[in-house]
């Protein structure tokens, strides 16, 4: 049994304006949920202090969200088949509300992670769901514009998230960052109940690949936890080795299950399409660099630059405005030119922005950081609309749900790995530089002696007792070394991101060759 208006019924009711009404509704829902990806990044130092944890545990606020969001991308097809688009949209908003309440009132750090998992589930389902709806309601010659609107939603929200979160932290406390998306969610729920297409389905649930989702979860949890805990427990420890082996085995089993499943989570036949596969590879690298940089920039300006939470978020606002202006334009351009041109140019701009960030240190001005970020986000705005549009154009109508889920899954998988990889690299390189700088601080080093003498002189002029001069100067020298090591560590992290984006030009070249005759 099914009830509720179809897309055709909605157009008959609202006319051509319906496509913009449903686009606004879908974008409102996606923005409210995707906003939570980065809104917590500026809270990392506060949460570390509140619960007495290190960055290796604090980054799980982002990783748990993105990992769950990655997995839940693949649930969209089953949920739509089971409940229809409208009810699925309403369900995920309710789940997001529950997750937000748990995270905001969490008595322990574990409850924050639980809340972030529920939030990530909703955010993951919402993206392919809304992508397909937009693809269905816009005509073929305007789908690039539709994907531009979609891209604006999923990229603008993470761009402004740190600023809004920082404002909430400095005005109230870090717990208030979880409440910010709720008004948007409430509005999306009301509009979704009115405008989202049906029918709402009431029938026996379709088959679901439970084995696949369990094995995939085991693979991701072990992979990400191994990357996060390797520094703490040692890369050669039995625990990390076991997690890596478990992840590899689970990934192998997952692929085997998907090849034989009647209702697979990830339709492996999609990857027999060279153009789609190339687009997926670019999307994976894009997700890697996007999430890695979105996490690293706010943490860098707070820990190295000494910015407040609000200032750390504010530095990303100009880049968010660039994205907001560029996405619709980029979407329209993707309807007129082959997709590989704007994608390649965008990757180069993103690589340039990350490369420029390798010059940042404690003395870098606010606007310098903002401009470097704007350059990278300009490239991002050129990549996303043509990438999504070109990938979806290569699919048959009955493949859209599965294709959008696969594309978003791989993009978010890249993001999950990106955050962990960059945090790991920064931690290791910071320790490396700290050890290297410390070994040079000897009595025979004239620069060290001069520095210590200058600090002692300042302490003496300030009336500090003589007995404290030497330990005070040494303590300050240690702080300077730590700050310098952190600066070098982040610079290495940004260099790594830049190299990754340059390497992404390889699948773009494949996309160009594979897309000949397919209009991508």
Phi/psi of residue 173, each to 5°?
-155, 170
Distance, CA of 37 to CA of 157 (rounded, Å): 9
In tens, the pLDDT along 79-105 reads: 888 888 889 999 999 999 999 999 988
Contact between 385 and 334 under an 8 Å Cβ cutoff? The reply is: yes
Contact between 189 and 66 under an 8 Å Cβ cutoff? The reply is: no
Contact between 115 and 218 under an 8 Å Cβ cutoff? The reply is: no
Q: Is 234 left (phi over 0), alpha (psi -120 to 50) or beta?
A: left
3-state secondary structure of 307: coil
Distance, CA of 212 to CA of 227 (rounded, Å): 23
Quick one: which of 178, 177, 191, 174 has its CA closest to 130? 191
Beta bridge partners of 3: 200
**Model-wide pTM > 0.85:** no
Q: What residues of the chain score a pLDDT lower than 70?
A: 1-4, 55-56, 199-204, 511-520
CA torsion, points 440, 445, 451, 455, in degrees to nearest 10? 90
3-state secondary structure of 366: helix
Alpha carbon separation from 70 to 130, 339, 381, 507, 510 (Å, rounded)? 16, 25, 22, 21, 25
Alpha carbon separation from 161 to 105, 113, 231, 301, 313 (Å, rounded)? 20, 18, 29, 15, 7
Tell me, what's the pLDDT at 474?
77
Cα 169 to chain centroid distance, Å, stands at: 21
Distance, CA of 249 to CA of 96 (rounded, Å): 32
Distance, CA of 397 to CA of 246 (rounded, Å): 37
Contact between 263 and 274 under an 8 Å Cβ cutoff? The reply is: no
3-state secondary structure of 2: strand
Distance, CA of 391 to CA of 73 (rounded, Å): 16
Per-residue HEC secondary structure of 60-110 comes to HHHHHHHHHHHHHHHHHHHHHHHHHHHHHHHHHHHHHHHHHHHHHCCCCHH
Per-residue HEC secondary structure of 249-287 comes to HHHHHHHHHHHHCCCCCCCHHHHHCHHHHHHHHHHHHHH
Phi/psi of residue 2, each to 5°?
-140, 145
If residue 200 lies in a helix (H) or strand (E), which one and from where to where? strand 200-201
Tell me, what's the pLDDT at 174?
86
C-alpha angle 291-55-372 in degrees, rounded to nearest 5: 40
Interhelix angle 317-334/340-357, rounded to 10 degrees, is 160
Phi/psi of residue 108, each to 5°?
-135, 165
Tell me, what's the pLDDT at 513?
66
Distance, CA of 124 to CA of 401 (rounded, Å): 13
Distance, CA of 316 to CA of 311 (rounded, Å): 9
Q: Other CB atoms closer than 10 Å to residue 516's CB: what's the count?
A: 10
Contact between 61 and 184 under an 8 Å Cβ cutoff? The reply is: no
Distance, CA of 214 to CA of 3 (rounded, Å): 32
Tell me, what's the pLDDT at 199?
64
Give the contacts of 435 (CB within 8 A, at least 6 positions apart). none
What letters, b where the CB count within 10 A reaches 16 and e where it falls short, cover 191-210?
A: bbeebbbbbbbeeeeeebbe
């Amino acid at each position: 049994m099914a009830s509720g208006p179809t897309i055709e019924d909605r157009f008959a009711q609202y006319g051509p304006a319906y496509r913009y009404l449903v686009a606004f509704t879908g974008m409102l829902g996606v923005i409210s949920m995707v906003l939570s990806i980065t809104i917590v990044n500026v809270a990392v130092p506060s949460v570390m202090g509140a619960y007495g944890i290190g960055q290796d545990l604090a980054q799980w606020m982002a990783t748990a969200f993105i990992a769950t969001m990655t997995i839940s991308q693949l649930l969209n097809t089953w949920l739509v088949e089971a409940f229809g688009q409208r009810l699925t949209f309403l369900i995920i908003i309710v789940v997001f509300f529950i997750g937000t309440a748990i995270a905001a009132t969490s008595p322990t750090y574990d409850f924050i992670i639980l809340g972030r998992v529920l939030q990530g589930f909703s955010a993951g389902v919402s993206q392919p769901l809304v992508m397909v709806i937009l693809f269905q309601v816009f005509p073929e010659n305007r789908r690039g514009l539709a994907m531009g609107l979609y891209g604006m939603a999923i990229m603008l929200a993470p761009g402004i998230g740190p600023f809004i979160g920082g404002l909430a932290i400095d005005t109230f406390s870090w717990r208030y960052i979880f409440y910010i998306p709720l008004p948007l969610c409430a509005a999306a729920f009301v509009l979704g109940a009115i405008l989202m297409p049906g029918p709402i389905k009431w029938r026996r649930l379709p088959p679901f690949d439970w084995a696949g989702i369990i094995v995939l979860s085991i693979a991701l949890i072990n992979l990400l936890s191994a990357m996060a805990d390797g520094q703490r427990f040692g890369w050669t420890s039995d625990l990390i080795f076991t997690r890596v082996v478990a992840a590899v085995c689970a990934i192998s089993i997952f692929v085997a299950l998907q090849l034989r499943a009647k209702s697979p989570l990830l339709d492996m036949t999609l990857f027999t399409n060279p153009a789609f596969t190339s687009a997926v590879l670019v999307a994976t690298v894009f997700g890697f660099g996007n999430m890695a940089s979105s996490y690293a920039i706010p943490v860098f300006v707070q820990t190295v630059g000494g910015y407040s939470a609000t200032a750390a978020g504010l530095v990303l606002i100009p880049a968010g405005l660039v994205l907001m202006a560029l996405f619709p334009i980029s979407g329209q351009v993707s309807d007129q030119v082959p997709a590989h041109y704007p994608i390649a140019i965008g990757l180069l701009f993103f690589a340039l922005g990350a490369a420029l960030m390798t010059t940042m240190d404690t003395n870098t001005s606010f606007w310098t950081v903002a401009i470097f970020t704007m350059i990278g986000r300009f490239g991002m705005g050129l990549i996303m609309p043509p990438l999504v549009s070109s990938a979806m154009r290569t699919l048959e109508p009955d493949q859209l749900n599965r294709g959008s889920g696969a594309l978003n899954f791989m993009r978010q998988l890249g993001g999950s790995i990106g955050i962990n990889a960059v945090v790991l690299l920064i931690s290791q390189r910071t320790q490396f530089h700290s050890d290297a700088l410390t070994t040079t601080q000897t009595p025979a080093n004239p620069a060290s002696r001069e520095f210590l003498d200058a600090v002692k002189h300042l302490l003496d002029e300030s009336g500090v007792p003589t007995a404290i001069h030497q330990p005070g100067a040494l303590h300050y020298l240690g702080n300077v070394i730590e700050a310098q090591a952190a600066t070098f560590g982040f610079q290495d992290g940004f260099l790594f991101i830049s190299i990754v984006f340059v390497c992404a030009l390889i699948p773009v070249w494949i996309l160009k060759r594979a897309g000949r005759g397919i209009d991508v």
